[in-house]
Each structure stands twice: as structure tokens, then as C-alpha cells.
Amino acid sequence: MSNALISNLSLLPPDALLGLMAAYKEDPRDTKVDLGVGIYKDDAGQTPVLKAVKAAEEMLLTTETSKAYEGPRGNQLFDNAVERQIFGDNSEARAQGRVVSLASPGGCGALSVAVGFVKRLSQQGVVWVSSPSWPNHAHVVRAMGMATDSYAYDEVSSGPHAGKVDFEGIKTTLAKAKAGDGIIIQGPCHNPTGIDLDNAQWEAIAHLCVEKSLFPIVDVAYHGFGNSLDEDMLGVRRFLSIVPEALVSYSCSKNFGLYRERTGCLVAQTQSTEHTKVTLSHLADIARASYSMPPSHGAAIVATILDTPALYAMWVEELDLMRGRITSLREAMALALRKHGKDVAADRIVRQKGMFSLMQFEEGAAQKLVAEHAIYLPNSGRINVAGLKLDTIEYVAKCMAPYLK
Ligand code: LMR
């Protein structure tokens, strides 16, 4: 046999969340509970296709006439509709031609291109990622050839600001950030903590980015899961009104339930129409060298929903239901945790937003919960609240209680 070059490589460990997904599937225990990967589930444990999505697909079946490439920006009705979701209906920046967007393969595709763009702005720079964050953030940054550093994203544990993000921690850790560095800031429903910046903190972080000349990438992956669509975006809108330049990666995986359709958008805000043109040319160039052209099916579905009043109303109702179910699960879990004397954990879980909660476990708790109770969660202690069911909450709370701080 000739020399195998692949023998220079060693087997990689599975991705923390994807590995957990595979292990859960194979677990034969019928008491198993999946609190791992962030997918919305109903009380039957299913992730059904939204009715608004099905209705849009039926319309597309008759109206779609071609599968030819749509070009680097993809479906521009989709791009415009996502811009309206982010900026609202009356955006000065959009009216002034300072905003442009490209459809992308999921939020992750948008993030990759965004990091590639920051690299073109500052070869020596690093991209700052919150600690903790979604593990794939740092992974994407490094895969795009940039270094990462982390800024503290901690919860204030007591006093009048208990449950809020400790902004002093953010400021202190960003003290050594240099002009031209990138920074990923999560929009509503921070993954994994479930604790969001309040509107004043959004303003403060915007001023910090301006003072330090940091280039922001705002990652919006859970729009509508924290509060109503408009409320969820207040902080991001305030932020974008202060910083002159920013990129926003927007994912439709969760709020439209389009996970496998890889539906996302990369939105750029610049200082002038000239900069918008330049930015678009670079973003399209980075995408061209990677996935070349964006996928279209999911984008067409979202554009149809957002531009058809009856479907839009149907979608908002379904999104409200998903958010309402998560809120009820948080309340039920808090009640169950209190029964087991875990008031602090109970207080935390009800005030957090979105799909996730970062449980404060003793070291090694997650592995024990998987091995002994078939309760699947990553080692970080993050749980997907939407993976709970009303009839398993008591079991989950009882199994978790001994490990909670
Ligand atoms: C998660 O955090 O579980 C989701 O964003 C899914 C993923 O790709 O990791």
C-alpha cells in the first residue's frame, strides 16, 4: 500500500452538541430526555413544520418557475423582508442606502462571511466572543483564519441588578481590545445564558464599540423567542442607530422552524452608499469562494410569509405559541425546582429568555445526568428548555436537584 497522507490526521472528537444528538438517538432507555441541541419541540417531543411554512410552500409549488441561480444576494424580496425585521419599517439607514444584505446558508453561513469580512478590515485583529457563548462562534472565527478572545458575560447574582448582565465585566475584559478588532454580540435570547443586555446596556456597548473602533457582528438567531418581534429588536435597533458600521447575521432556523433548509441572511450597515457598494462586493466575493450562491427554498418561504398578510398573521400566532410554551415550561420547571429546595435555580430559570438556560451545576453533573438518568445536556450545563415536557419536568427537576449549586 502507498503512503496514506490521511494517516497524518487523527480522529476528532464529535462536536459537543451534534455528538450529544447522535448519542441520544442511540440510547435505548425509554425515560430518555433530550435537552441538548437547540431545536423547538412541542409537548409530544416533535418539531412539526409550521402551518405558515406549509401554506407558503403550497403557494411556491405553483408560482415557482425556475431553479436557476438567483445571484449572490439570493432572493431580494427575502433580503428586504429580513432588513425590515431587523430595522423596523421606518429605518433611516435603509432609506439612505446604507444597508445591504445577502441571503446565506443559515445564520452560520452569514457568520462565516461576516468574520471573513472583518479579516479583510484587520488582518492582525481578533474577534471577541462572549464567555460563555454558543461554542460554534469561536469555532467559526478560527475556521475563517482569525484568532478569538473572550469578554466576560456574567450574571449579577445579588442586589438590585440580580439577573442582569454584569456590564462592568464586559467593559473590563474589553479593555485590551484594539481598534479594528471584531466583536460578536448576540441579539435577543443569548445562547447559552438566556440573559440579555437591557436597552441601556445595548446603548452602552454601542458607545464602547465606537470609542474603541471595534467592528460589531450582531448575531440574531432567536428573534421572537424572548418577547414580541418588535420588543425583541429594540436593543439591536438602538445599537444600530449608534454604531456607524455593523454586520448582522440573521437566522430563520428557529423562528420559522426552517432548521434543515439553512435559511439565513447577512445584513450590512455602512456609513455611505459608496461604502455599501464596496461592502457588498467584498461580502459577495467571500461567499463566492465558499458556497458560491445561497440556497433559495427557505428564503422563498420566509419572503412569502413576511410579504403575505394572512401568512404573516398565521406565523406570528405560531411564534407566540412557541414562546408561550417555553414560558410555561420555565414556570413549571421553577415550581418543580422549588419543591426540591432549589429556589435560586428556580428564580434564574423564570427570568431568563429564549430557548436556553445555563444551569449552575457542580462539576461533572452533565455527564452523570446522561449516564445515570438519560437526561441529555452538554457539559456546559446548558439546557434546551423547549426540550422539556410537562410530564417529564418533575423527573428532570428531581434528578438535577442534587447537582445544583
Ligand atoms: C444550539 O445552540 O443548540 C443551536 O444553535 C444548534 C447548533 O447548531 O448548535
Is 371 a residue of the active site?
A: no
Catalytic residue among 55, 206, 246, 254: 254
Check residue 36 and give its pLDDT: 95
Q: What is the pLDDT of residues 353-373, one digit of tens each?
A: 999 999 999 999 999 999 999
Pairing of strands 356-358, 33-34: unpaired
Ligand 1 centroid–CA 167 distance in Å is: 25
DSSP β-bridge partners for residue 34: 376
Tally of CB atoms within 10 A around 280: 17
Q: What is the mean pLDDT of residues 191-212?
A: 98
Q: What is the pLDDT of residues 304-321, one digit of tens each?
A: 999 999 999 999 999 999
CATH of domain 69-307: 3.40.640.10
Distance CA 392, CA 375 (A): 10
Q: Choose one of 35, 136, 356 to mutate for the ligand 1 pocket test, by most ligand atoms within 8 angstroms of C-beta.
A: 136
Distance CA 291, CA 178 (A): 31
Q: In 245-308, where does DSSP find H-type helix?
A: 273-288, 297-307
Q: Is the pTM of this model over 0.95?
A: yes
Beta strands in 195-260 (DSSP E): 215-220, 246-251
Residue 227 grid coordinates: 418577547
**Homologous superfamily in CATH for domain 14-48+323-403:** Aspartate Aminotransferase, domain 1 (3.90.1150.10)
* Main-chain phi, psi angles of 338, to 5 degrees: -60, -40
Check if the beta carbon of residue 85 is closer than 8 Å to that of residue 223.
yes
Q: What is the pLDDT of residues 287-297, one digit of tens each?
A: 999 999 999 99
Kindly tell me if the per-residue pLDDT of 2 is higher than 70.
Answer: no
H or E stretch at 95: helix 92-95
Residue 283 grid coordinates: 461580502
Ligand 1 centroid–CA 336 distance in Å is: 26
What are the structural domain ranges in the chain?
A: 14-48+323-403, 69-307
